[in-house]
């Protein structure tokens, strides 16, 4: 039988048609399977290729002074990433980046040689580094938007503000205390990448929405600067160990300055000794010395004594049991006025004996000693003030003139401010308000009266005594300021030994606390100098610093001089114009 060629061709065509139809059916089935059954799995794979999950953290809120000047803020600090598959010269790129980022070239070369589409090179680089890297123009190197903490005023109020760590969480100071308020929100989002692996959209609007809240302080940037500068000059001139200066508004308790020296730069905190991080004004307790006498005399006035009540001061030596109390200058009879003016230890001890230890203890605690002020900074000390039941006779005498108890600088300025404020103790204020990232006031803090410790009459009498301290024959004449009635009290306290009982030889804390003007005090200031070596009396060391801070602050605040009797007399005589 002869094969028909045409028939064979038709059979082949038919077979091919069947195969083609079969293939089409198989492709259809596969397409249906891919598009219907495998749709979700394949979509996920595609998304993994062209998108990635990122943790977006909002910018940290700001720390501002009372006039909204930035004390702690955030600046752009891009994160450097790379797509190694796009980098043509890993060795050259690693060398160039290493010089800018201060990273070993070999470590970068290893990263850039990997068969990956995304690697992290460096987080939160400086604007200068970012500009230099961008200028290289290397394909496969990318700058992703990010921010880091920055303190524009460097050392200013560093111990108060504190600083943050690498993850932008607070480690010290207000940054630590109010971390939950300042910290930006966190959200996980998916962002798209192009074919090269570069992120197309990081959702900047979302980052702004996540920005943390800001804190407005009572601190005045200018007065803080004046205080820190004067404090530094004083510590250096006296070759002292350290110093503290506080400025407070007596009527409200607002702290306008909390100065510590030595300081540190929070932008580079790791380069400084950790002891400099400490906010000594709150964390350190010290024996206050003679400043405490004004509170002892205030207790006596409340108990019925008058400024002219007299006490015999034993010609400079007074024995209590096996202890002997000394005065710098031997005197016999002194009034309460003179006891403050001449800073008599014996006179103050006689007062304590007369009013009793319970009364002295109660007034000291009412003024806030022996307890935290809860001003809002971490690490605040209670100080030490034993219960009066545990006092011996010499304890009561010693405490009356500032030995045998310890206080913090914040307690001391608060007590002095209470006298300036007609006997009303205010809660110290450091936080003025909290505002949202849109500027909305979330919480506003008002001045808070704690208690009326002494009567306005007693406070006025103490003011007069404190004014006598800065006048002729007083211990604080170097704090007097022309045109203003200054009130103050000196202190020269020998430092208690840490290794044995008693006191260190030739180690002192020199202090001056006061306020002005006498009638309506605008500012209260405390200066404490630890271990001055050139001189050691409070009237010589701390009083001039007090005067400088007061004078410069009054000039800045435009507080006009008082029309005192002396000034009026001078004008009449034609001495002043």
2 vs 451: CA distance, rounded Å:
128
Q: Give the mean model confidence (pLDDT) for residues 507-529.
A: 97
The string of pLDDT tens digits covering residues 97-147 is: 888 888 887 878 777 887 777 788 888 887 888 888 888 888 888 887 777
Name, in order, each residue with C-beta under 8 angstroms of 463's C-beta and a sequence gap of 6 or more. Answer: 419, 420, 487, 518
Q: Give the mean model confidence (pLDDT) for residues 431-452.
A: 95
Q: Can you list the domains of the chain with their CATH numbers?
A: 54-213 (3.90.1310.10), 221-270+278-573 (3.40.710.10)
- The residue from 147, 227, 290, 491 that is catalytic is 290
Tokens of residue 91, six digits: 């060795």
pLDDT for res 388: 95
- Report the b/e string of 39-71 with b at 16+ CB within 10 A: eeeeeeeeeeeeebeeebbbbbbbbbbbeeebb
380 vs 160: CA distance, rounded Å:
12
Q: Give the mean model confidence (pLDDT) for residues 87-101.
A: 83
The answer to whether residue 290 is catalytic is yes
Which residue did the predictor score with more confidence, 42 or 477?
477
| 426: confidence class by pLDDT, cuts 50, 70, 90 | very high
86 vs 93: CA distance, rounded Å:
12
Looking at every residue in the chain, the average pLDDT score rounds to 88
320 vs 170: CA distance, rounded Å:
52
Of the listed ranges 87-96, 261-270, 373-382, the one predicted with least confidence: 87-96
* Strand stretches in 424-481, DSSP E: 424-426, 431-435, 441-444, 449-452
Residue 576 has pLDDT above 50, yes or no: no
515 vs 524: CA distance, rounded Å:
4
Tell me the Cα Rg of the chain: 36
549 in Cβ contact with 527 (< 8 Å): yes
The string of pLDDT tens digits covering residues 385-414 is: 999 999 998 999 999 999 999 999 999 999
pLDDT for res 571: 47
222 vs 242: CA distance, rounded Å:
22
Calculate what percentage of the chain has a pLDDT beyond 70.
88
pTM of the predicted model as reported, rounded to 2 decimal places: 0.84
The string of pLDDT tens digits covering residues 71-84 is: 999 888 788 888 88
The string of pLDDT tens digits covering residues 141-178 is: 888 777 789 999 999 999 999 999 988 899 999 999 99
pLDDT for res 396: 93
Which residue did the predictor score with more confidence, 500 or 68?
68
The string of pLDDT tens digits covering residues 291-334 is: 999 999 999 999 999 999 999 999 889 999 888 999 988 999 99
Residue 330 CA, distance from chain mean position: 45
Q: Which of 549, 543, 541, 542 is nearest to 522 (CA)?
A: 549
| 3-class state of residue 70 by DSSP | strand
Strands 242-249 and 254-261: antiparallel
Measured at the alpha carbon of residue 274, what is the angle toward residues 268 and 278, in degrees to the nearest 5?
105
pLDDT for res 62: 96
pLDDT for res 109: 77
Give the number of other Cβ atoms within 10 Å of residue 20's Cβ.
10
Of the listed ranges 22-26, 240-244, 431-435, the one predicted with least confidence: 22-26
Name, in order, each residue with C-beta under 8 angstroms of 86's C-beta and a sequence gap of 6 or more. Answer: 139, 140, 196, 197
């Amino acid at each position: 039988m002869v094969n028909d060629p045409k028939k064979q061709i038709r059979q082949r065509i038919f077979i091919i048609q069947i195969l083609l139809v079969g293939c089409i059916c198989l492709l259809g089935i596969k397409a249906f399977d891919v598009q219907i059954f495998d749709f979700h799995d394949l979509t996920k794979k595609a998304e993994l290729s062209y998108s990635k999950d990122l943790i977006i953290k909002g910018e940290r809120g700001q720390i501002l002074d009372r006039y909204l000047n930035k004390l702690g803020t955030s600046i752009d600090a891009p994160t450097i990433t790379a797509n190694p598959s796009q980098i043509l010269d890993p060795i050259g790129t690693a060398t160039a980046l290493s010089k800018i980022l201060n990273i070993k070239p070999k470590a970068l070369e290893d990263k850039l040689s990997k068969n990956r589409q995304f690697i992290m090179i460096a987080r939160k680089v400086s604007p200068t580094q970012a500009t230099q890297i961008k200028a290289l123009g290397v394909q496969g190197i990318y700058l992703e938007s990010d921010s880091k903490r920055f303190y524009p005023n460097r050392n200013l109020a560093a111990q108060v503000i504190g600083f943050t760590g690498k993850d932008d969480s607070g480690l010290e100071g207000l940054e630590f205390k109010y971390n939950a308020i300042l910290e930006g929100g966190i959200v996980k989002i998916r962002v798209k990448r192009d074919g090269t692996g570069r992120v197309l959209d990081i959702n900047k609007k979302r980052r702004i929405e996540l920005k943390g809240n800001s804190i407005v302080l009572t601190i005045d940037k200018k007065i803080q600067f004046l205080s820190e500068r004067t404090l530094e000059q004083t510590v250096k001139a006296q070759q002292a160990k350290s110093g503290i200066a506080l400025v407070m508004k007596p009527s409200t308790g607002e702290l306008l300055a909390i100065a510590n020296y030595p300081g540190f730069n929070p932008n580079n905190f790791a380069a400084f000794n950790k002891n400099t991080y400490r906010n000594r004004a709150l964390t350190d307790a010290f024996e206050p010395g003679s400043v405490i006498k004004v509170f002892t005399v205030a207790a006596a006035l409340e108990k019925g004594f008058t400024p002219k009540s007299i006490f015999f001061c034993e010609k400079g030596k007074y024995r209590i049991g096996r202890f002997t109390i000394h005065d710098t200058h031997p005197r016999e009879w002194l009034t309460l006025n003179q006891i403050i003016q001449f800073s008599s230890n014996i006179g103050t001890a006689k007062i304590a004996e007369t009013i009793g230890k319970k009364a002295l203890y109660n007034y000291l605690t009412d003024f806030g000693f022996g307890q935290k002020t809860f001003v809002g900074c971490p690490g605040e000390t209670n100080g030490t003030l034993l219960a009066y039941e545990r006092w011996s006779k010499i304890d009561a005498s010693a405490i009356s003139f500032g030995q045998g108890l310890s206080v913090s600088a914040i307690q001391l300025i608060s007590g002095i401010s209470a006298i300036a404020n007609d006997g009303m103790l205010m809660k110290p204020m450091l936080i003025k308000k909290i505002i949202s990232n849109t500027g909305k006031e979330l919480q506003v803090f008002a001045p808070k009266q704690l208690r009326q410790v002494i009567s306005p009459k007693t406070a006025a009498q103490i003011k007069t005594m404190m004014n006598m301290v800065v006048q002729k024959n007083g211990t604080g004449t170097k704090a007097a300021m022309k045109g203003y009635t200054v009130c103050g009290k000196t202190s020269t306290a020998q430092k208690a030994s840490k290794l044995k009982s008693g006191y260190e030889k030739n180690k002192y804390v020199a202090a001056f606390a006061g306020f002005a003007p006498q009638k309506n005090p605008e500012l209260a200031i405390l200066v404490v100098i630890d271990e001055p070596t050139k001189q050691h009396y409070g009237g010589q060391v701390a009083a001039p610093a007090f005067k400088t801070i007061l004078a410069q602050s009054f000039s800045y605040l435009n507080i006009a001089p008082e029309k005192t009797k002396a000034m009026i007399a001078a004008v009449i005589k034609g001495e002043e114009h």
